[in-house]
Structure 1
Amino acid sequence: MSKPELPRGYLGPQPKFSEFKLSTLSHNDPEITADTNEIEVKFRMGQPVKVTGNLIECSSTKDYSNLLFTQNQGDVVSYIVQMPNPGYYKLQIYALPVSDESKTLPGVYNYLINCTRAPKAVQPFPKQYAQWKEGCYLYEPLTIANNNGTVNFKATVPNAKAVAVTVNDTWTQLKNSGSDVWEGPVQITKDSRVTLNVNYGGEETKYSTLLEYNL
């Protein structure tokens, strides 16, 4: 498969990248060749930033952003990328300082990934809501198989007063194991809507959705 033509200046850091105090950590070259269809791309933050991204298959221009998972741990931003087929993909990174109230995140870095093999079956990551992108980190589960069973949840959720998982209308409270880490077993049923939710204090019954899995 031939390499796609890209606009001049498209690859690598964009003007806001250094202004927002970001630096590459795992992949310094914006052209990545991968012999597997799951990779993790990491950046270091010099200040707190909100981040997002998208994943586009070059040949079909199809958006596979449901196969892209973003999370933060300390000053590191991590993008876990799954690619369904061999071929070229554009990974486009967007960011904005947390202190900026603007709703639009400018593009800060672009990668071109050449996936030469696709040995793993891909499974969509959970949908990430706005507050997830403010310092949260998911240890498990990154994906959930669509069957009945017990799944262990473990996530870092800064400043949370309570964290709960819902399976349709059934609530399970997670336990705080220290350092903003919340975890616990949750009974999953097939064909469910599963959400990870946070309460930041104030009203005990007011929870915000962080992640949503659709089985």
Structure 2
Amino acid sequence: MRVMPNGIELRVIPPTQGKYDLKIFAKLLDSKESYTWVCSYQVDCPEPKVHDRLPANPFSFWGLHWTARCMGISQCSCSEGLITAPDGCALLHFQTSRPLSATYKLIHGDYDSDVSKRCIVSQIGEGKLDCNIVLLTKGYYRLSVFVKPYSQDGSYQNICNCLIYCPNLVNQNELFPANLSNHCGPGIRTKEVGFNQASHPEPVINTPHGKCNITFQTVRDVEVTATLTRDEASAEGCPLERHTLCTHTKNKVSISVSLPASGVYKLGIFVRPEDEEDFGHVCDYVIRCSAESRGPPFPRMYDTWKKGCVIFEPRSGVLPATKWVRFRVRIPRAHRVFLIGESMDELSLSKSRVWEGNVFTGPARSQLKLAANLDRLSPMIRDDVLYPR
């Protein structure tokens, strides 16, 4: 049933063949009186069209509620209440006239709440709310949408209920990572911390090569870090934290990702303003990797690797043994830069203010550390040396 300012639209889906009596009851909006019998119909169903179980709807309407405009929603891609998802994927889009927070609830007879939460990715942007949905099985689903004014206390209000139909048996879709925030992808929160012009405007990134580079233009002086997680246990030798590399120059932040295996990952981005002690969460990205090859980890970065530091080569944190490797890095305020392994090699400063030089990696299972002379000699990054290749 769709409730509109000047009427209702009622869709009847008989479960089996036969005749049905349909009685309609109504009352004035917000009235405390009981519903009154308005009219009756006889519905004759010679052949049922639906063989899948419909989800229950505890709310009194489907589609977008007629008061949605008063709540700040000007348009919805599911205004009629039905979405068909033949490939098991759907996108629900709202246009908003003012900033809103949103939460979603997906209902299916075979899903518990933990599975349902992993079917949804929420993006809260300026002038829009987006909900990416992935479905695993054939059948009908109910998606209920709840909103409230952004950054205000108070309860969420149900504003839309969509019936989603997946007509095909879908076995290949993977769930999204667990514990995603409502702020996925760039949106209101990224703009609040001064991040603009995101290279990846969508919250879900598909990479066939196992690598991606997410960039933002920045207008505030902040420190950036990122965390990479996946729900499945990893058998890789390096921790996942070694598979992300944050680079922050004067007005640009780059978060490079090199994934160790195929699968679905959650990338969390955090920032710390210059005048604060703790990092705060900004947004999450979902990264789907279909690459068969393993991406190498990045070098291990020490706390001294700060804003303005850039590593051009080598980007891999695992180097072949007994090989000459070219190093090129930029380190602001550095007087001298060294590579420390079995010996200490000094890099030279080029005209473009890049420290560079060729360094012999040494034997297998050794380590190379890059150190810079700022006020004192400080370790900056570390590379691990593998067996000869």
TM-score of the superposed pair, with normalisation by structure 2 = 0.49
In structure 1, the partner of 2:259 is 83
Please say if 1:159 is aligned against 2:333. yes
Q: Aligned partners of 1:8, 1:84: CA distance in 2, in Å?
A: 24
Matches within 5 A, 1:85-104: 85-97=261-273, 99-100=274-275, 102=277, 104=278
In structure 1, the partner of 2:201 is 28
SS in structure 1 of the partner of residue 200 of structure 2? coil
Please say if 1:70 is aligned against 2:246. yes
| Number of residue-to-residue matches in the alignment | 207
Matches within 5 A, 1:1-215: 1-4=173-176, 6-7=179-180, 9-13=182-186, 17-60=190-233, 64-97=240-273, 99-100=274-275, 102=277, 104-115=278-289, 117-143=290-316, 144-168=318-342, 170-189=343-362, 190-201=364-375, 206-215=376-385
SS in structure 1 of the partner of residue 350 of structure 2? strand
1:100-148 deviation per Cα after TM superposition (whole angstroms, max 9, x unaligned)? 251x211112101111x21433222111112213211111001142311
Preserved contact between residue 16 and residue 106 of structure 1 (Cα < 8 Å):
no
Q: Aligned partners of 1:74, 1:18: CA distance in 2, in Å?
A: 17
Q: Aligned partners of 1:187, 1:181: CA distance in 2, in Å?
A: 19
Change (3 A) 1:140 1:7: closer
Change (3 A) 1:8 1:188: closer
Q: Aligned partners of 2:181, 2:326: CA distance in 1, in Å?
A: 46
Change (3 A) 1:8 1:166: closer
Shift, 1:64, TM fit: 1.2
Q: Sequence identity of aligned pairs in percent? A: 27
Moved more, 17-26 or 56-65: 56-65
Structure 1: where are the runs of 5+ without partners? none
Structure 2: where are the runs of 5+ without partners? 1-172
Shift, 1:33, TM fit: 1.6
Moved more, 119-128 or 9-18: 9-18
Change (3 A) 1:150 1:21: same
Change (3 A) 1:93 1:24: farther
Q: Aligned partners of 2:315, 2:308: CA distance in 1, in Å?
A: 16
Preserved contact between residue 146 and residue 191 of structure 1 (Cα < 8 Å):
no
Preserved contact between residue 186 and residue 202 of structure 2 (Cα < 8 Å):
no
Q: Aligned partners of 2:351, 2:282: CA distance in 1, in Å?
A: 34
Q: Aligned partners of 2:296, 2:181: CA distance in 1, in Å?
A: 34
TM-score of the superposed pair, with normalisation by structure 1 = 0.86
Preserved contact between residue 249 and residue 307 of structure 2 (Cα < 8 Å):
no
Preserved contact between residue 165 and residue 174 of structure 1 (Cα < 8 Å):
yes
SS in structure 1 of the partner of residue 305 of structure 2? helix
- Tell me which structure has the larger Cα radius of gyration: 2
AA at the equivalent of 2:377: Y
Change (3 A) 1:105 1:21: same
AA at the equivalent of 1:207: L
SS in structure 2 of the partner of residue 66 of structure 1? helix
Higher relative contact order (CA 8 A, sep 6+): 1
Q: Aligned partners of 1:174, 1:85: CA distance in 2, in Å?
A: 34
Q: Aligned partners of 1:85, 1:172: CA distance in 2, in Å?
A: 34
Preserved contact between residue 163 and residue 199 of structure 1 (Cα < 8 Å):
yes
